[in-house]
Chains A and B, each alone.
Chain A
């Protein structure tokens, strides 16, 4: 069964901005699902529709087989959302916030679970402080705890590790992985693509409100990941538009003094010569040349830039 199934979901804001255009995707139950896309792609709009802070313009959402838009209250009990923006109630302590959060989901107090959450998210020693005294990273972990306190079956994490240091981030992911292993479905958006590649078994990419890929992480990396030719020049590359247009068939990615171009393998032969010559004609001799295997980041950039071209 799918934990979440979205059909033809669209959202047009009051100012006419199309944030989502007929997006359809399914999140299988028990999966660790990455929802990726550049800034402003529509990820947060999609999550805010799930969270009931934004109204969809059209489309359907099924959560564990039930129509979410018809019976919100029932769906909400199975859903835990970590919002992207930091939010904290300045009147209460983390422990009180968690007790209130759980109660608002209609569940009886469970201090043992709250203690465990505080401990796993490394907030135990701050549990009685006022939330105003917490650091940014602590507040973000408290948001994670709030989303988990009613033991939802689907947890949506919208950029949960922004501002959390590397060590803590690793421990946070260990905890989320444990939850996933015990049957909780996880839907994650993140800017750290290596995190998504490491954690997630399925991935969807949206760009400008449209779904451009949705498949297993393995097949996405296998299907579209190829090798790239990376060329570094003595000075920063100018005339981006011209170069992007001329080299368009090699999916160019320009960053400062570097350009990456996708190599195609056909049987035994590679198009290295053609790609190198094309770049040489535009940009001259590079000072450094490297061929490397693409990772999710390259795939992501290529897929989303292709849309732009």
Chain B
């Protein structure tokens, strides 16, 4: 067996993170603006209304969910766009040819996705915090869900990128799978507001646990049982990271 290629892994991480830093307008400024627009719209639409079942005003309830949603979408975008650009421009052959193992590739790709998600989350927090009276009630929960969510989405981005042949395939995954799951995960509402049937459906949406847990870290209350959610999220994180790693290892849709 060859030794670990630390320089290779570090280089790939740099390549993947410099790529999003190079297009800051798209990757950092645009998500911040989108979140601001949501806030303005909901601030005036909902006024000072409280979220039913939770003793928190709607505006405060909304902010952590919006931050997490942006983090999840950006973690997904970092790996998926790198993969699809690599495929379409044929650059992924250089990655295949290089002596970077599947484990090293996973570490590099997921670390870059995590970095992007943290940068976006941090920027949104800085912008939105002055408009709310949010506190960091349980920092460990914020970090746990933030990191796990980013790893899950980074892994799903890799899998989606491996599967897609064209930008259109990729857009299909983003718009028809990722977007509905993030929108219907309780960012904009508390599940207790839903009819019982949809509450059941929601319990199967992994994004629901991520958003609710992340928000719990700020407002110290939520719709899920924290212990149960942590177990669920840990399992989903492991499954998606291992799944992406295994598919990469066998060259799924990458090698003929």
What are 9 A-to-B residue pairs whose CB atoms are below 8 Å?
Answer: A54-B256, A73-B99, A74-B99, A76-B99, A89-B91, A100-B14, A102-B11, A106-B8, A108-B7
Q: Please give, as numbers and ranges, the residues of chain B lying within 8 Å of A14 by CB-CB distance.
A: 256
Assess whether A51 is in contact with B97, with CB atoms less than 8 Å apart: yes
State the Cβ distance, B92 to closest chain A Cβ, in Å.
8
Q: List residues of B whose CB falls within 8 A of some A CB.
A: 1-2, 5-8, 10-12, 14-15, 18-19, 22-23, 85, 89-91, 93-101, 251, 254-256
Known: A100-B11, A104-B15. 17 other contacts (CB 8 A): A51-B96, A51-B97, A71-B1, A73-B99, A73-B101, A85-B90, A85-B93, A87-B93, A90-B89, A91-B18, A91-B19, A91-B23, A102-B11, A104-B8, A104-B98, A105-B8, A106-B8
Q: Please give, as numbers and ranges, the residues of chain A lying within 8 Å of B95 by CB-CB distance.
A: 104
- 8 Å CB contact of A83 from B5, B23, B93: B93
Interface residue A282 (Cβ < 8 Å from any Cβ of B): no
Q: How far is the CA of A28 from the CA of B85 in the complex (A)?
A: 38
State the Cβ distance, B2 to closest chain A Cβ, in Å.
4
Identify the interface centre among B7, B93, B95, B97: most chain A CB within 10 Å of its CB: B97
Assess whether A105 is in contact with B90, with CB atoms less than 8 Å apart: no
- 8 Å CB contact of B99 from A72, A91, A96: A72
State the Cβ distance, B9 to closest chain A Cβ, in Å.
9
Q: How far is the CA of A89 from the CA of B19 in the complex (A)?
A: 10
Assess whether A76 is in contact with B98, with CB atoms less than 8 Å apart: yes
Q: Please give, as numbers and ranges, the residues of chain A lying within 8 Å of B101 by CB-CB distance.
A: 73
State the Cβ distance, A22 to closest chain B Cβ, in Å.
19
Q: Please give, as numbers and ranges, the residues of chain B lying within 8 Å of A52 by CB-CB distance.
A: 96-97, 255
Assess whether A71 is in contact with B2, with CB atoms less than 8 Å apart: yes
Assess whether B90 is in contact with A83, with CB atoms less than 8 Å apart: yes
Q: How far is the CA of A85 from the CA of B96 in the complex (A)?
A: 15
Q: How far is the CA of A52 from the CA of B6 in the complex (A)?
A: 20
Chain A residue at smallest Cβ distance from B5: A106
Q: Please give, as numbers and ranges, the residues of chain B lying within 8 Å of A262 by CB-CB distance.
A: none
Assess whether A107 is in contact with B7, with CB atoms less than 8 Å apart: yes
Identify the interface centre among B10, B18, B99, B254: most chain A CB within 10 Å of its CB: B99
Q: How far is the CA of A81 from the CA of B94 in the complex (A)?
A: 9
Interface residue A103 (Cβ < 8 Å from any Cβ of B): yes
The dominant DSSP class at the A interface is loop
Q: Please give, as numbers and ranges, the residues of chain B lying within 8 Å of A101 by CB-CB distance.
A: 94, 98
Q: Please give, as numbers and ranges, the residues of chain B lying within 8 Å of A88 by CB-CB distance.
A: 89, 91
Chain B residue at smallest Cβ distance from A55: B255
State the Cβ distance, B106 to closest chain A Cβ, in Å.
15
- Given the interface pairs A86-B90, A87-B93, the reply to whether A54 lies near B255 with Cβ below 8 Å is yes
Q: Please give, as numbers and ranges, the residues of chain A lying within 8 Å of B85 by CB-CB distance.
A: 90
Chain B residue at smallest Cβ distance from A86: B90
Q: Please give, as numbers and ranges, the residues of chain A lying within 8 Å of B255 by CB-CB distance.
A: 52-55
Q: How far is the CA of A54 from the CA of B91 in the complex (A)?
A: 15
Assess whether B98 is in contact with A89, with CB atoms less than 8 Å apart: no
Assess whether B93 is in contact with A104, with CB atoms less than 8 Å apart: no
Q: Please give, as numbers and ranges, the residues of chain B lying within 8 Å of A71 by CB-CB distance.
A: 1-2
Q: How far is the CA of A13 from the CA of B90 in the complex (A)?
A: 20
Q: Please give, as numbers and ranges, the residues of chain A lying within 8 Å of B15 by CB-CB distance.
A: 92, 100, 104
- 8 Å CB contact of A104 from B12, B254, B256: B12
Q: Please give, as numbers and ranges, the residues of chain B lying within 8 Å of A13 by CB-CB distance.
A: 256
Assess whether A89 is in contact with B97, with CB atoms less than 8 Å apart: no
Assess whether B99 is in contact with A87, with CB atoms less than 8 Å apart: no
Chain B residue at smallest Cβ distance from A108: B7
By Cβ-Cβ distance, the 3 closest A-B pairs, closest first, are A103-B11, A87-B90, A73-B2
- Given the interface pairs A90-B89, A104-B8, the reply to whether A146 lies near B256 with Cβ below 8 Å is no
Q: How far is the CA of A85 from the CA of B85 in the complex (A)?
A: 15
Q: Please give, as numbers and ranges, the residues of chain B lying within 8 Å of A232 by CB-CB distance.
A: none
Q: Please give, as numbers and ranges, the residues of chain B lying within 8 Å of A81 by CB-CB distance.
A: 97
- 8 Å CB contact of A53 from B10, B19, B93: B93
Assess whether A51 is in contact with B7, with CB atoms less than 8 Å apart: no
Interface residues of A in 111-131 (CB under 8 A from B): none
Interface residue A305 (Cβ < 8 Å from any Cβ of B): no
Q: How far is the CA of A105 from the CA of B100 in the complex (A)?
A: 7
